[in-house]
Structure 1
Amino acid sequence: MERSPPALVEVPKFFVCPISLEVMRDPVTLSSGITYDRDSIERWVFTDGHGDCPVTKLQLGAADLEPTPNHTLRRLIQAWCAAHAVERFPTPRPPVDADRVAAIVDEAGRGGQQELLAALRELADIVSESDRNRRCVEGSPGAVDFLVSVVKKHAAGTRKPVGGSQGEMCGMLDSPKASSPEEASLSILHSLKLSEESLKRVLGGSDDFLDTLASVLRWPSYRSRTYGIHLLKAALSAMSPSRLSSANAELVDGVVRVVADRTLSPKEVKMALHVLCRLCPWGRNRIKAVEAGAVAAIVELLLNEGCGNSNGGGGNRACELAAVAIDHLCGCAEGRLELVAHPAGLAVVARAATRLSPPGTESAVRALHAVARHSATPAVLQEMLAVGVVARLLYLVQAGTDGERSRERAKEMLKMHARVWRGSPCLASHLASYPC
């Protein structure tokens, strides 16, 4: 005889969080008298930026930033779970405070390697537990500076060529069972999602932190490189144009290495492209990027990614960013020279121009326009004809783009070199309307 399924248990309404509509794990009460689950109300206030009670719409006061734990309700929920054979929620740990964070940092500073790693693991557990703990660690005096100092101190040894004792460190960095102090600190800094104010304080008046990140982007550990590019992207948002203009060649080279790195996930590669596009407009960063091999790295990326779909849709985000980066790099003579020197350079950029969204198409066409206007040697013009660049320009003019500026640039290029290109039998009829 088949057993009937167990009856559904009705949850008392006052056990349910008004925000998440789930049974509360850690109920806390606001000054408005309404009780919420701690994670839900902290996300409402701190992450989403609301300043009122979700139910009563009353403005929250300073005391509501540290809501009162409702121990009675939590005990009732746990007793109800036990009575109805519902899995009980573990008793939440008390929220960490600045004094505890300061004690952990102090213990780490006075101990040896093992004590340092233990302290960093404890900090990592605290940060991962809740958004409140993350904000507490970030706001605790000296905590962020301590984490940065650990990375800086241990980064000095990794700047040397790999070999000997350094080779041992590489093995430790890539080991799935062990973590170096610098990698643990990088992981925590990444998890903290530092505010712009904290980043500005870390950057201070020197480039030490940027120099450290430049070193991190060359470390053998892919996890460290991942944390490094995330931190660099966040740091750039807090930098002034003058600081961006003075980025050193090692930093730009590190970013290019990440763009060319096929062991990292597409997310990190796209982030590196974001950083490259942010750096390129300032100072001599374009030239530094070209010297670091950025053009070849981006062309290879476009070849591997396929430039999105072939029907003019949104395409791949990495290809969109790669087109923007190529546009920046072709703004200097060195970048144009590298593009035309690459066997697939002109062809792959022309293909991107017909396969990306209108903004991506505009960037790719602008790069081709820079080549056609400033680097159009006879050999380059013949190559543009041979690899299909001219045919794609005709396509853009006739039907292939929604962007008027891209169409006009394509038309201008065809007019600019019609005398050279009109000799092609397959294009003569199309180019007849362009005056020489």
Structure 2
Amino acid sequence: MDNVEVPDYFICPISLQIMKDPVTAATGITYDRESIEHWLLMRHNTICPVTKQPLPRDSGLTPNHNLLRLIQSWRRSTGNSPGAAAQMDKRKTQETSLNQSHIDKLIRGIGNPDSQLKSLQKLEALAIENEPRRKQLVEFGVHNAALHFIMQCHRGKNTNASGLPEALHVLYLIRNSSNGLKLSQMEDVIGEIIEAFSWVLGCDGETLNKTHAIFAMKMVVRKAKSAQLRMLKPEFFQKLVDYVKQRGNKQGINAALQVMLDSSPWGRNRIMLVEAGAPFELIELELKSPEKKTTELILGILFHLCSCADGRAQFLSHAAGVAMVSRRILKVSPAADDRAMLILSLISKFSGTNGVLLEMLRVGAAAKLCLVIQSNRESHLKDKAREILRTHSNAWKASPECLNLPTLTSDDVC
């Protein structure tokens, strides 16, 4: 039984595994349900993975009961023998191995207007299949070819370029393969690459294209050098803020926020983010879509933006800014606590007018500082809370609002 043969028609063309729930598409090809549903979900244009023919959007997947019975009968007769498992592993290794000359031909095809769409569609189909394929595509330099193509589209301002959605999708799919894309050969044009993705964000078209561009942009920004990030333009930040304002795909928004966070340590970039309206929009986003990861990113960006006067002014111009930050303390995560405390410290230290201090008292920020001191949080957070309370305790105690703050005692501020 160790040499048992696995019938080819038991194998899903996508996963290369024995099918558990075989279903037949409108093109007549049978797949494992989980694999074909994942394929269709990931694609923006539904095509059959094997025949490359379009699948009508209203076409369903028909259960293949006869094939399922055959597979179940075969499993019982073989007892899922080690020989069958070994054969499957060997088959998967063979099937996932790509020929470099074939990939090189597809890459060359991207440069030919007559074949660029077909070449990109084939590369996209390979990238969708599985992680081993994606790793091989990275090793063969497919990401560089896709980036060059997108830059060419940007240079020609060709928003309707044939193959642009496919190139963006390829980069999205292989962005995390082989421990990240290797851009050592493209360091000189990273600035132009970022501009090209920014251009995609500003184009009219499918939101999915913009989301794929955001993820690719995140990858490139994380690999960019400080000097390159200091050269970012106002349009770049405006389009990031506009994307966040659309309240689209949650993962895409988090990717956009990560790009903001990675580029905000530099003063010039902070000013451009503030001019793009980032502080106000970030507060709005947090109020409408609170989620741990999103909250941590937003508070991290707001900390950087509140390090400049204009950033603090815009933060305070939002009626819910101080309240939102205060209420996140002790509610989300230690990372959120740290960033929120730093924001309150900057606000109280550099913008602590009577009006701002009364607002902090009214919305419960001062009370929350007292709770931090009494909590089991890290000592540096307690020290920061004591510092803020010590600095402004006289102003708060002199206010009638302080009657609602019984925890503000001399022990807290000494």
Shared fold (TM-score, shorter chain, > 0.5): yes
The equivalent position to 1:11 in structure 2, one of 66, 80, 92, is 80
In the alignment, which residue of structure 1 is the partner of 2:11?
none
The alignment of Structure 1 onto Structure 2 pairs a total of residues equal to 335
**Alignment match, 2:19:** none
**What residue number does 1:118 align with?**
118
Matched, 1:323 2:299: yes
Deviations 1:65-96 (A, max 9, x none): xxxx5xxxxxxxxxxxxxxxxxxxxxx5x843
Q: State how far apart, in whole Å, the 1-side matches of 2:302 and 2:324 are.
A: 11
Deviation digits for residues 176-235 of structure 1, max 9, x if unmatched? Answer: xxx942111111122222665622323425511111111122334211121111111211
Q: Does the alignment pair 1:273 with 2:272? A: no
Name which of 189, 201, 204 aligns with 2:185.
Answer: 201
CA distance in 1, matches of 2:405, 2:173: 60
Contact 2:386 2:413 in 1 (8 A): no
For residues 8 and 435 of structure 1, the distance between their equivalents in structure 2, rounded to whole angstroms, comes to: 74
Q: Does 1:109 align with 2:97?
A: no
Quote how far apart the aligned CAs of 1:344 are. 0.8
Amino acid at match of 1:102: D
Q: Is the 8 A contact 2:143 2:181 kept in 1?
A: no
Structure 1 position 243 matched with structure 2 position 228: yes
Question: Which residue in 1 is equivalent to 2:392?
Answer: 417
SS at match of 1:128: helix
Tell me how far 1:435 sits from its aligned partner. 7.3
Which of residues 351, 359, 363 is equivalent to 1:387? 363
Distance 2:111 2:339 in 1: 50
Alpha-carbon spacing, 1:363–1:130, altered in 2? closer, same or farther (3 Å): closer
Q: Give the AA of the match of 1:352.
A: R
Q: What residue is the counterpart of 1:216 in the other structure?
A: 200
Give the whole-Å Cα distance in 2 for the aligned partners of 1:273 and 1:105. 32
Cα distance in structure 2, aligned partners of 1:241 and 1:332: 20
Alpha-carbon distance in structure 1 between the residues aligned to 2:310 and 2:184: 33
> For the Cα contact (< 8 Å) 1:256–1:294, is it kept in 2?
yes
Q: Offset at 1:131?
A: 4.0
CA offsets per residue over residues 302-348 of structure 1, 9 Å max, x none?
A: 21134x6xxxxxxx221122112211211111111111111111111
Does residue 344 (structure 1) correspond to residue 320 (structure 2)? The answer is yes
Structure 2 Cα separation of the partners of residues 129 and 150 of structure 1? 22
Distance 2:405 2:336 in 1: 29
1:298 is matched with 282
Q: Does 1:368 align with 2:344?
A: yes
Q: Find the aligned partners of 1:132 and 1:304 in 2 and give their Cα distance.
A: 39
Provide Cα deviations, 1:9-28, integer angstroms capped at 9, x if missing partner: 223322213xxxxxx44626
Question: After the TM superposition, which residues 83-162 of structure 1 pair with which residues of structure 2 at under 5 Å, given as runs?
Answer: 92=95, 95-112=97-114, 115-140=115-140, 143-156=142-155
**2:90 maps to amino acid:** P
Equivalent residue number for residue 257 of structure 1: 242
What letter matches 1:27 in structure 2? Answer: K
**Can you list the C-alpha shifts for 1:343-366, whole angstroms capped at 9, x where unaligned?**
111111111123121221111011
- Name the structure 2 match of 1:27: 90
Output the CA distance in 1 between the equivalents of 2:334 and 2:107. Answer: 51
- Tell me how far apart the structure 1 counterparts of residues 338 and 136 of structure 2 sit (CA, whole Å): 45
Is 1:426 the equivalent of 2:408? no
Percent of pairs with identical residues: 24
**In 2: Cα distance, 1:428 partner to 1:214 partner:** 48
Among candidates 173, 180, 185, match of residue 191 of structure 1: 173
- Distance in 2 (CA, whole Å) between partners of 1:428 and 1:100 is 72
- Once the two structures are TM-superposed, the CA of residue 429 in structure 1 deviates from its matched residue by 5.0
Task: Give the residue type in structure 1 aligned to 2:120.
Answer: L
Structure-2 change in CA distance of 1:236 and 1:428 (3 Å): closer
**Structure 1 Cα separation of the partners of residues 169 and 344 of structure 2:** 41
Residue 134 of structure 1 deviates from its aligned partner by 3.0
1:262 offset after TM fit, Å? 0.8
Q: Deviations 1:21-58 (Å, cap 9, x if unpaired)? A: xxx44626xxxxxxxx41xxxxxxxxxxxxxxxxxxxx
Displacement, 1:156? 4.7
Q: Which has the higher helix share?
A: 2
Q: Give the CA deviation at 1:428.
A: 6.6
Change (3 A) 1:432 1:205: same
Cα–Cα, structure 1 residues 409 and 132, in superposed 2: closer, same or farther, change >3 Å? closer
Change (3 A) 1:191 1:406: same
Deviations 1:285-306 (A, max 9, x none): 1111111111112111221134
